[in-house]
Structures are given as C-alpha cells and as structure tokens.
Homo-oligomer: A and B are copies of this chain.
Amino acid sequence: MILIDLKDSRPIYEQVVDKFKMLILKGAIAPDEKLPSVRNLAVDLSINPNTIQRAYAELERQGYIYTVKGKGNFAADRDKLIDGYKEEILKQLREICQLAISVGMTEKEIINNIKGGGAYD
C-alpha cells in the first residue's frame, strides 16, 4: 500500500503523510475506513513507530484523518478534503503562472503547454 524511498531527500514521516493524503484524496482509502495501526505499519515498512506516529499526528492536524482513542485512525470525509485541496492547487497554479509571465511567457504558450504537454498522462 505504501512504499518508502530512503534515497528521497524528504524525511520519512513526510513521505508517509503524502502517500496517505493521495490514497485518501483518490478514494483508495474510503471515508471512515480504518488506517493500519501505528505498530503494524511500522513493522511492515521497517520504520520506527515514532515516525509513523508523527505522520499520523500530522495527517490529523491537516484534517485528513481523525483519531478515536483505543480504536485507531480513520480517513476523513473525502468531499470536504477535495474542496480544500482544489483551492490549494489553484493557488499554486496561479503562483506558477505569475512566474511564467514574469520571464516573458505568454498566456497562449502556457495554455498550449498544459494542453499538449503530457499533462494528462
């Protein structure tokens, strides 16, 4: 379900966070579905349980999961997450477009690149 790349420069906990975000956003983990327990996942990935703990805490802080003490961690409501996520993506998109404009690219160039540039692989 999840693979960690030790050669990735990002810290391990961050990789775990991002993987779960994607799984939840894409619906691979359904709303209210239980995530693996901290201990089990730690064993599966050969990772320190503290690291998983930290990743789950971060996911909860960002609203992607909720914790029920004594029961485990569960995926949050996908629809609400996606709304927030779309906003985030659009913000980043606008920032990059501003950069593109500032080095002299035209609106047309940018849009053509989006359309033809393998953006839908």
Which chain A residues have a beta carbon within 8 Å of chain B's beta carbons? 6-7, 9, 11-12, 22, 25-26, 66-70, 74, 76, 82, 85-86, 89-90, 92-94, 96-105, 107, 110-111, 113-115, 117-121
CA distance in complex: A114, B99 (Å) = 12
If A25-B103, A89-B103, A96-B89 touch, whether A69 touches B11 (CB-CB below 8 Å) is yes
If A67-B9, A68-B6 touch, whether A107 touches B98 (CB-CB below 8 Å) is no
Chain B residues, CB < 8 A from A103: 25-26, 82, 85-86, 89
Chain B residues, CB < 8 A from A99: 89
If A9-B67, A66-B7, A114-B111 touch, whether A97 touches B85 (CB-CB below 8 Å) is no
Q: Per a CB cutoff under 8 Å, which of B25, B67, B107, B120 touches A107? A: B120
Interface contact B68-A89, CB-CB below 8 Å: no
Chain B residues, CB < 8 A from A121: 98
CA distance in complex: A66, B4 (Å) = 14
